[in-house]
Chain A
Amino acid sequence: MIQCEKVTKEYHKGDNVIRPLDGLDLEIPSGHFLALMGPSGSGKTTLLNLIAGIDSPSSGTLRVDGLDLSGLSRGKLAAWRSQTIGYIFQLYNLVPVLTAYENVELPLLLHSMSRKERHRRVAGALDLVDLADRHSHYPRQLSGGQEQRVAIARAIVADPKVVVADEPTGDLDRDSASAIMALLQQLNRVLKKTLIMVTHDPKTADYADQTLHLDKGKLMDGRAASSGSALDDEVTP
């Protein structure tokens, strides 16, 4: 369960105050698939960053499973992220000097496990995203869709409870995009990950259980999505 109470984020630029989030209240139950929409600059990425613990609110409280993130030091927060959060970026953000395998292995290096166990998990994650034959490829040798699948494997390999995705299909063609969405839906349905996804595309948002609209740092009236059932046939493998 993710709880935001009166969460505000402010940036000061000289005398100007930019407030991407302004007293936002939000509750996301565990296992939920939430889509966030809104115009550019409305604070979507900022909200994801707060939930993922890579940025902290200026005021208000943010709890994940009861834990108040604002009370944690940078080091503790990092450890918490490695246990709890998988982050998927619009531009994949793979480390260019590492192979697909090594990129996926990165989060596991933080956990105490044998090399063999790491191998089992990395291979499993790459298998899940259908890239079992691309272990030794570097990011530059992969297509955008493949890179994003590596990024998804990396996000879930350490088995986090929450996965956040910032416009995960924003840079992909239709076919790659629907493959990615099918994967994300599988993460939510089968692996029971809480999934929070930012998107510009209403069709993509339809995969989610619920879509919320952000505007000027506040949530507009939400509307319950039709549980994505209309699209099930299209994407279930």
Chain B
Amino acid sequence: MIAPKFIPLVLRQLLRHRVRSMLTLGGVITAMFLFVTIQAMQAGVSAATQQNADDTTLVVYRKDRFCPFTSQLPEYYQSKIQGIDGVRAVIPMKIVVNNCRTSLDVVTFRGVPLDAFLAVRQEELHLVDGSFELWRHRSDAALLGETLAARRGLKVGDRFDAAGVTAYVAGILRSEEVQDKNVAYVHLDFLQQATDKNLGIVTQFNVLVDAASDLDRVARAIDDEFAVAEHPTTTRSEKAFVAYAAADMVELVAFTRYLGWGCIAAVLTLVGNAIVLSVQDRVKDHAILQTLGYSPWLIGRLVLCEGIVVGLLGGGMGTLLAAGVIEWGQFSLSTDGLSIPIEATPLLLLTGMGISLALGVLAGVVPAWQATRCEIARCFRAV
């Protein structure tokens, strides 16, 4: 683009109007902060709702129910589901949330039978602290998702309260599964006792299927099994279930995409405006440089670099700021016990930087082109 020896020249021109440059930078930081945050929400929604080719988990829910309070299924369905061809494992699950509305700080309890749960999940769950032994031996013990633990500042040995349940932290777990990150796994009977004493009733069944390609067939077989029972079911893949149960939130987040585009437009006009103004101020400087032998093409590139510096600096700071806030806050959008974590992934940071760079270039193009058009003799007379 330009040789490094020209960079001080570019920076000097940017510092020419300090206040103006600072204001521009502030605007870019703010806009990119918003953009990256919105992107993080979008990415969180995609991760929680978009099915992968190798997903093998089904969720069996009470038909036509949307909330864990109203989905009630008899625990004995477990053995019936287990009998269906293609089913590897069934985990009955009682779900209790401290707040059934959409919120950023929801604690979701998942009550599970220990043996069934560990038999299926122990391998893929990594404990960063505590132990499965401890969890097994205390009746009020809970395994906390990493995000939840970080948000509430909980360590192994702590007790915590939510939804009228007091539990003991026996371990902190790390998992690739989105829904694991924001939950507290407790013993099923403990949770049943601690809440509505509704023994023998669970909220849902999580069903592991042998082959991902079998997902749809098994789902239909389960629903057929209970079609005429007292408690009919609807079975979906876990991601589709999240997309369905959290539809309002997913729609809302989808709408924020337009806000993101608005941020991009704001950055573009801010940087473009700043560079156009500064190029108009410098018609004479550019005529001087041309007189000294700077080609119009080189001057254009110098101007373009100003856009890039502002874009990268402001965009980079906005992106890092957003990443910092997201990382520090460990936010997740939760509704009905389902959680959509907002995460600043490296890819997101890279995207933020890339977009900042692209915006800088784009904003610099017009003023750069204007700068190359200046005919020296005319420019000297114009000022």
Contact = CB atoms under 8 A, between A and B. Distances in A.
A5 B252 CA distance: 75
Contact of A154 (B3, B5, B292, B295): B292
Contact of B296 (A78, A82, A97, A102): A78
Interface in A83-141: 83, 85, 87, 93, 95-98, 102, 106-107, 109-110, 115
Nearest to B379: A54
B13 interface: yes
A74 B294 CA distance: 10
Given A95-B285, A115-B5, A107 B377 contact: no
A125 to B, nearest CB: 13
Contacts of B292: 81-82, 87, 106-107, 110, 154
Contacts of A80: 293
Interface residues of B, number: 25
Contact of A82 (B288, B293, B377): B293
B289 interface: yes
A74 B295 contact: yes
B99 interface: no
A97 B21 CA distance: 15
B15 interface: yes
A164 B13 CA distance: 28
Contacts of B6: 109
Main secondary structure of the interface of B (DSSP, over half): helix
Nearest to A106: B292
Contacts of B290: 54, 78
B280 interface: no
Interface string B112-154: 0000000000000000000000000000000000000000000
A75 B377 contact: no
Main secondary structure of the interface of A (DSSP, over half): helix
A97 B282 CA distance: 11
B377 A97 contact: no
A186 B295 CA distance: 30
A106 B5 CA distance: 10
A172 to B, nearest CB: 19
| A-B complex: 10 closest residue pairs judged by Cβ atoms | A82-B293, A78-B295, A55-B377, A54-B376, A81-B293, A75-B295, A97-B12, A107-B292, A97-B16, A49-B377
Interface of A: 46, 49, 52, 54-55, 74-75, 78-83, 85, 87, 93, 95-98, 102, 106-107, 109-110, 115, 154, 158
